[in-house]
Amino acid sequence: MLAIKNGRFIVPGAQGNFVFRTDGALLCDGEKIQGFVPVQDIPEAAEVIDAQGQYVAPGFINVHIHGCAGYDTMDADMDGLVQMAKMQAKTGVTGFLPTTMTCKWYQVEDALLTLRETMRSQTGGARILGAHMEGPFISPAKKGAQAEENIRQADYKLVKPWEDIVKIITLAPEELPDNTFAAKCRQAGIIVSIGHTAADYDTAVKAVKEQGIHHFTHVYNAMTGFTHRSPGVVGAALDTDAACEIIADNVHSHPMAQRLLYRAKGGHNIVLITDSLRACGLGDGPSELGGQEVFVKGELATLKDGTIAGSVATMNRCVKIFWENTGAQLPQIIEMVTKTPAQDLSLYEEIGSLESGKRADIVIFDEDVQVKQTIIGGRLFRG
C-alpha 277/C-alpha 289 separation (Å) is 7
The CATH number of the structural domain formed by 60-344 is: 3.20.20.140
Active site residue 366: no
Catalytic pick among 72, 75, 249, 275: 275
Neighbours of 296 (CB within 10 A): 22
pLDDT for res 137 = 98
pLDDT for res 289 = 83
Quote the pTM value. 0.96
Please report, for residues 9, 59, 64, 72, 356, the alpha-carbon distance to residue 275 in angstroms, rounded to integers and kept in the order given: 28, 18, 5, 11, 31
pLDDT for res 269 = 98
Domain 2-57+353-380 has CATH 2.30.40.10: yes
CA 288 to chain centre: 21
The answer to whether 382 touches 375, Cβ cutoff 8 Å, is no
Residue spans per domain, the chain: 2-57+353-380, 60-344
pLDDT for res 307 = 86
Helices (H), the chain: 78-90, 105-121, 156-159, 180-187, 201-211, 232-239, 255-264, 315-326, 330-335, 339-344
- pLDDT (tens, 9 = 90+) of the chain, 383 residues, equals 999 999 999 999 999 999 999 999 999 999 999 999 999 999 999 999 999 999 999 999 999 999 999 999 999 999 999 999 999 999 999 999 999 999 999 999 999 999 999 999 988 899 999 999 999 999 999 998 888 999 999 999 999 999 999 999 999 999 999 999 999 999 999 999 999 999 999 999 999 999 999 999 999 999 999 999 999 999 999 999 999 999 999 999 999 999 999 999 999 999 999 999 999 999 999 998 877 889 999 989 998 888 888 899 999 999 999 999 999 999 999 999 999 999 999 999 999 999 999 999 999 999 999 999 999 999 999 97
DSSP 40: G
C-alpha 108/C-alpha 16 separation (Å) is 38
Which DSSP string corresponds to 54-77? -EEEEPEEEEEE-EETTEEGGG--
pLDDT for res 305 = 86
pLDDT for res 273 = 98
